[in-house]
């Protein structure tokens, strides 16, 4: 096996195989990032092998099905005609020229980085590494992860004593390593996935060149940077920028509620300024895999340098408190109707973390449901994307989506995710009390609507 792959150890062969579409691409982690990426490569006629430890995903894809709402079974079928296959057999890593890692990087129970998925993946692929292969990490993480966590495992556990190519390293017996942060935006129909620029930071110039050529084949533009750590920090900046600004409008929203001012009207008016302002909107809390998590990744790493990221941590705290504000607002609204939250029937509209997607990761809806239940409320939910929901973050929900046919039976209907399929006027007309966290009922005038 060593002799077979040594022929491709030079970057010129890698570049030529990329150009001719002979390159074998392996994508590890077939979730919301890895599966769409696999399809992009398949669209460009690369032979792609997807790896996942979840046998359900592997079997679904093998049968030509899809488990992600925005990816149609027809797209899976088209990819299979280009050679796409899904497998749980990591032994096939040895046949790949490029290996792209797209696994989760959550927080643990102490709000510290959980890199177990990256570490487990590194352990799984290291025995099958060959000279000349390119390994790219896409998982969002703190600066230094690629060099401090991924590379040492790959170097220690591969069978041939291979080393990652570095600026001052030998060119013999090496593999290439880069970091390229994913920039997925589920539900965004305005920007095509291939038109999102791809940031790339290689461990050495050859790794950057190989990764740039690979991604240039499927993306309209690549943006090379000087190192994996720079690329890792770039991703954190993008998401912390959003986190901080959302925290700002969330705090202003709380103030505006006390002052009797419509924060959404304020934002709309401010957005007319043609410079120096970008619109961000308040909500019931942050969701998704990146924005709620990334501030804590950077804050954790900053402590290694005796640096306290007070501003960033404060933004994270503001956003974490929003679900508690929502539940408090529901209790106050019910109290004004001479009802206690304890024993009241509450219907939560929308589980996913943003409208019109089937993604529950870090969704504030899950926290809100748990908090309502702890206060004694009888909670139901409705979401067209989730007929059933089992495990939440650290708890079991085991709930089934409730029909909207009996809205009159609920003491409160709580809009947490503003899916486009909901008829909000009808919902308002048939409900006793509507609590709106998303401004979904804008333009509807009714006494039973409370914005929170």
Active-site residue set: 290
| E-state strands within 102-179 | 134-137, 163-164, 174-179
> Measuring CA to CA, which residue among 156, 51, 158 is closest to residue 99?
51
Helix (H, G, I), strand (E, B) or coil at 420: coil
Please, what's the b/e burial string for 166-181 (b: 16 or more CB within 10 A of its CB; e: otherwise)? Answer: beeeeeebbbbbbbbb
Contact 285, 293 (CB under 8 A): no
Rounded to whole angstroms, the Cα distance separating 98 from 27 reads 8
- Helix ranges, 164-227 (H): 205-216
Hey, what are 378's tokens?
């009888």
Hey, what are 150's tokens?
């991924």
Q: Note every long-range contact of 15-23, with CB atoms under 8 Å and residues 24 or more positions apart, other chains counting.
A: 15/209, 15/210, 15/213, 17/97, 18/210, 18/213, 18/214, 18/217, 19/213, 19/217, 21/45, 21/46, 21/217, 23/97, 23/98, 23/214
Contact 135, 157 (CB under 8 A): no
> How many residues are recorded in the chain?
452
Helix (H, G, I), strand (E, B) or coil at 86: strand
Helix (H, G, I), strand (E, B) or coil at 375: coil
Half-sphere exposure of 87 (CA within 13 A, CB side): 12
């Amino acid at each position: 096996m060593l002799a077979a792959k040594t022929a491709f150890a030079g970057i010129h062969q890698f570049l030529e195989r990329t150009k001719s579409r002979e390159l074998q691409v392996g994508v590890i982690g077939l979730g919301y990032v890895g599966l769409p990426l696999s399809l992009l490569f398949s669209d460009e006629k690369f032979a792609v092998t997807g790896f996942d430890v979840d046998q359900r995903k592997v079997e679904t894809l093998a049968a030509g099905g899809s488990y992600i709402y925005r990816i149609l079974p027809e797209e899976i079928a088209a990819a299979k005609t280009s050679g796409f296959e899904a497998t749980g057999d990591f032994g096939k890593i040895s046949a790949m020229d490029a290996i792209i890692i797209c696994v989760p990087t959550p927080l643990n129970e102490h709000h510290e980085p959980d890199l177990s998925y990256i570490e487990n993946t590194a352990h799984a692929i290291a025995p099958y590494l060959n000279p000349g292969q390119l390994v790219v990490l896409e998982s969002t993480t703190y600066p230094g992860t690629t060099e401090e966590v991924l590379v040492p495992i790959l170097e220690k556990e591969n069978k041939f004593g291979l080393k990652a190519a570095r600026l001052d390293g030998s060119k013999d017996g090496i593999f290439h390593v880069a970091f390229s942060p994913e920039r997925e935006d589920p539900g965004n129909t305005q920007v095509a996935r291939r038109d999102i620029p791809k940031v790339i930071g290689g461990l050495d110039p050859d790794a950057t060149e190989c990764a740039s050529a690979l991604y240039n084949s499927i993306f309209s533009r690549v943006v090379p940077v000087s190192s994996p750590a720079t690329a890792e920090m770039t991703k954190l900046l993008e998401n912390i920028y959003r986190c901080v600004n959302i925290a700002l409008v969330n705090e202003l929203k709380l103030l505006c509620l006390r002052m009797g001012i419509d924060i959404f009207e304020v934002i709309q008016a401010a957005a007319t300024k043609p410079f120096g302002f970008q619109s961000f909107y308040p909500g019931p809390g942050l969701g998704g895999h990146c924005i709620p998590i990334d501030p804590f990744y950077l804050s954790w790493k900053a402590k290694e340098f005796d640096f306290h990221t007070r501003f960033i941590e404060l933004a994270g705290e503001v956003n974490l408190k929003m679900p508690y504000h929502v539940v408090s607002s529901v209790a106050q609204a019910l109290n004004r109707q001479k009802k206690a939250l304890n024993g009241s029937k509450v219907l939560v509209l929308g589980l996913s973390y943003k409208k019109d997607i089937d993604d529950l990761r870090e969704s504030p809806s899950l926290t809100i449901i748990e908090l309502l239940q702890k206060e004694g409320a009888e909670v139901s939910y409705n979401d067209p994307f989730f007929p059933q929901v089992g495990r939440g973050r650290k708890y079991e929900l085991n709930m089934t989506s409730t029909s909207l046919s009996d809205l009159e039976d609920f003491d409160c209907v709580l809009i947490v995710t503003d899916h486009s399929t909901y008829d909000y006027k009808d919902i308002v007309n048939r409900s006793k009390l509507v609590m709106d966290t998303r401004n979904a009922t804008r333009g509807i005038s009714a006494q039973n609507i409370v914005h929170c």
